[in-house]
Structure 1
Amino acid sequence: MAAKDLPADEKEFMTLSQDEMEEMKTTFEAGNLEAVAKKLQEKLETLDKIQLHIAVTGEAGSGKSTFVNAIRGLGDEDAGAAKTGEVQTTMQPESYPHPTLPNVTIWDLPRIGTHKFKADEYLEQVSSQKYDFFIILTASWFTTHHTQLAQEIQKMKKRFYYVRTQVDFGLQAEQKSRPSTYKEEGILQKIRNDCIENLKREAGESFSQVFLISSCDLAKYDFHLLQQTLEDDLDVEKRHTFILALPNVSEQILEKKKAAFKREIWKLALLSGAISAVPVPGLSIIADIAILEVNMRRYCQAFGLDDAALCRLAQRVGKPVAELKSVIKAVPTASSINKEFVIRMLARPASLAVMIVEELLDLVPVAGPILSGGVSFGTTFYMLKRFLNDAAEDAHRVVQKALS
């Protein structure tokens, strides 16, 4: 198959941007292959180190701590979880790192709604400038405390999002009190409309979006709409980090993670090809093994295919962890990915990898001299792409088993 016949999405993630292509071309034409490899490595490392700080605030009883845990894929009893049911008595934000991405931090801010609350002083006390955006929670009605805080956040040119939590409790109450007329969609729309009208009364402004969620089941209600809105509002690099940090609560999120990783593969393969062109004996194979090992493990961790994540999921859905592991067919769990595993994978026939190189030469023309060596680039590209597909399929099976 010629490169020009590849599907559009394949070309999208394999083609360099114009700026990157010119930068690579200039460096390569200078004859400095080490510099080519270094630039690629720096780009990849920069992407992994992008900081994302998410602030979560609300009044007492709004479910802040449970939400902080849920968006990190944790239950309230898991190690590293924010403590729930405790009333905060200090004005110090509490930081909670993502379980597998140390560059992502969720901040549980002090509660609002006290009689001494002043929005401008509150934001100064919680060091508001460091947060990328604010999620403002309530379990009932939005008040002047919420809207005053939002107005102060707007003055800082920061984004905020109104979230109505514990929607499942409201639905259960309605179903119990009005079983004959209960219609979930109608009740959800009424809750949403009431929140929007309430905000209009409190702030004197129109708000088109209030997100309804249950932290006990993020797969339901508006969490996906909230997630998509946050994605759209972030810049490209922070969006990538945000997607990888999402909890694996649905097949939709798994596909987003797969697409994000897929867009990285050509850079990793180019790095492998650039290193292979450097005339240092043994350097190429050492680099290939390291690139494959690190990124295969990343894929498994992001998809929840590691022992800790599987144990947490099993506890949350009330199923034996062995039952969840039984549907993992194509890839090992993250802890089993080591140099020996990668070497066994590399021992498989590489003819398809070489064919891939031939198809890619006109898609990444600036790297043609690097790709002409072929084996390192093609092998890395092919193995990462195949492993990513396999890991995503296993993750889908785990989610389906958990929800069944």
Structure 2
Amino acid sequence: MNLGKMIRDDEVEFTMKLLDDDIYEGKKTDEEDFEMVFHNDFTEDLVGDIDEKNKQKSRTMRHSSSYENAQAFVQEAKLDTEIEEAGTLLGLNNYINNTKEWWASKKINVAITGHSGVGKSSLINAIRGLKPKAIGAAPVGIKETTTKIQKYEFPENDKVVLWDLPGMGTGKFKQETYINDMELSKFDIVLVVTATRFLETDVWLAEQAWGLGKNVIFVRTKLDFDLINASRDDQDAFDEAKCIETIRMDIRKHVSSCSDAAEFSDVIYLVSNPEQGKYDFPSLVTKLRSLMNIKGVSICRVLQQHLEKAIKAKRDAAKHEFTSSKVVSALYGFLPVPKLETALNQHIVEKIRSKCLVKFNLDDESLGKVSDEIDLSVESLKAYHLSAFNTEQLNHVDKLYTQSEEFRFSKFRRYSKYMIPVIGSVLSACKAPHTIQDCVDIICGIMAEDEYYLVQLRLEKLEKQLRPI
């Protein structure tokens, strides 16, 4: 079963959010160490079980490490220059198009390690969908065939590389120097492989890799041999499912001494290399695909966070603009003609709306340029995706102004100039700028969310483009 042909399921993926939902929140642990929490991935507050909380913390550390590494792949100064020259959406798109080939060129390195003779080379062939004698397959045999680090690229993408490491524990590759000899720090994912129970040295190796910030997977090979032996020993009472569960529980027992045992219990896979459609092999492939995707997801999250800050800053700045419009609205407040003030101020709000459409890249010209990049037509965006075009308040600024005025001011305040000519006119003049400001706040808030939504649509497409397999 070829890794590139497996169905995607339960993968690490880029997650969309609202502008004011904090996907990244700095928290202090009990040890006062700063950690990055991805709320869309982990809901620690909802977890009551202590072991599950430990798993969440471990996963947070893995994702935080990927996020921090991905920051080196995003040149924020260059991104800001593109945005300044072309606007948020087009600037982001220009930056992505100029950089995505460089991102895609980054290799994903997967180490396959363990004691000699456990089937590491066979596992590499199985993951790559190759027969033992196929061209490019890892050599297998009853003797220890891996005596030096061997590199095996994926047929679908040569940027994904499996590295067959010599077995630990032989005279040539001692445990004391194995981590440095194999340069384990250079790998993104480490598979610890055994054909029997995981020994203390296997757990030690996993802990060392975990301590280096690597994602670790335990793989128990040759499951078919165990099932055949168990069936031969007791043919009448043999139950395959119970036998597999017994083996799994025995493995969990042997990794329970590890400080990260709560996390490791979820990454134990029982496989038979020749039978790639059975046992845990499909789940192993899915897990590998998910971990291989972390780099792309982390790059998108770095961009997401950066653009979120930029759009929020633009939104907050825009809310303090339009001073001249507010001054004019105050002058309209002195007009004694019934409904004339309202009509003129509604016209001011319409002009502000038009300016904000351009400011937040939601005008027809901007949408036309970005629509091809997110695979949605301008008509579809307006009809189904963007609140600026399907929200009643923004489609009918007369209602927006009237409702804002009614919400803030009493009926007496709204009509005071017709009841108390001089004082009422002053009150009316003071009222209008506040109403305009409320309208500006609503317009900027909705349009900023729309722009952020379009940014995330583009990042969602980028994440798919960066998937290695």
State the distance in 1 between where 2:92 and 2:256 align. 55
1:235 shift after superposition: 6.5
1:181 shift after superposition: 1.6
Larger-gyration structure (1/2): 2
CA deviation digits over 1:260-295, x for unaligned, max 9? xxxxxxxxxxxxx99x96xxxxxxxxxx9xx9xxxx
Match of 2:379 in 1: 358
Match of 2:252 in 1: 196
State the distance in 2 between where 1:240 and 1:68 align. 26
1:16 shift after superposition: 10
State the distance in 2 between where 1:359 and 1:232 align. 31
State the distance in 2 between where 1:360 and 1:39 align. 23
1:37 shift after superposition: 5.8
1:216 shift after superposition: 1.6
1:92 shift after superposition: 2.8
CA deviation digits over 1:368-403, x for unaligned, max 9? 9xxxxxxxxxxxx9xxx9xx9xxxxxxxxxxxxxxx
Structure 2 residue identity aligned to 1:208: S
Question: Which of residues 166, 169, 172 in structure 1 aligns to 2:222?
Answer: 166
Task: Tell whether 2:233 aligns with 1:212.
Answer: no
State the distance in 2 between where 1:204 and 1:46 align. 35
Task: Tell whether 2:294 aligns with 1:236.
Answer: yes
Match of 2:95 in 1: 39
Q: Is the partner of 1:71 in helix, strand or coil?
A: helix
Instruction: Map 1:293-304; keep pairs closer than 5 Å.
Output: none
1:362 shift after superposition: 6.6
TM norm structure 2:
0.44
TM norm structure 1:
0.50
Task: Tell whether 2:145 aligns with 1:124.
Answer: no
**How many pairs does the alignment contain?**
252
Q: 1:197 to 1:359 in 2, by over 3 A?
A: same
Instruction: Map 1:324-335; keep pairs closer than 5 Å.
Output: none
Question: Which of residues 272, 275, 279 in structure 2 aligns to 1:221?
Answer: 279
Instruction: Map 1:61-210; keep pairs closer than 5 Å.
Output: 61-85=117-141, 87-88=143-144, 92-114=148-170, 117-200=173-256, 208-209=265-266, 210=268
State the distance in 1 between where 2:222 and 2:158 align. 28
State the distance in 2 between where 1:201 and 1:148 align. 10
State the distance in 1 between where 2:177 and 2:218 align. 20
Structure 2 residue identity aligned to 1:358: E
Q: Is the partner of 2:128 in helix, strand or coil?
A: coil
Structure 2 residue identity aligned to 1:213: V
State the distance in 2 between where 1:203 and 1:66 align. 30
Unaligned segments of structure 2, at least 5 residues: 1-12, 20-73, 300-364, 390-456, 465-469
State the distance in 2 between where 1:220 and 1:45 align. 36
Contact 2:109–2:188 (Cα < 8 Å) also in 1? yes
Q: 1:134 to 1:181 in 2, by over 3 A?
A: same
Contact 1:54–1:107 (Cα < 8 Å) also in 2? yes
State the distance in 2 between where 1:140 and 1:129 align. 26
Structure 2 residue identity aligned to 1:221: Y
1:64 shift after superposition: 0.5
Q: 1:24 to 1:116 in 2, by over 3 A?
A: closer
Q: Is the partner of 2:380 in helix, strand or coil?
A: helix
Structure 2 residue identity aligned to 1:237: K
Instruction: Map 1:237-276; keep pairs closer than 5 Å.
Output: 237-238=295-296
1:119 shift after superposition: 2.7
CA deviation digits over 1:70-107, x for unaligned, max 9? 11222212211111116447753111111120111000
Structure 1 residue identity aligned to 2:208: E
Match of 2:107 in 1: 51
1:227 shift after superposition: 4.2
Q: 1:139 to 1:25 in 2, by over 3 A?
A: same
Unaligned segments of structure 1, at least 5 residues: 1-11, 242-272, 278-287, 292-352, 369-380, 389-404
Percent identity (aligned): 28
Q: Is the partner of 1:83 in helix, strand or coil?
A: coil
1:192 shift after superposition: 0.9
Q: 1:202 to 1:118 in 2, by over 3 A?
A: farther
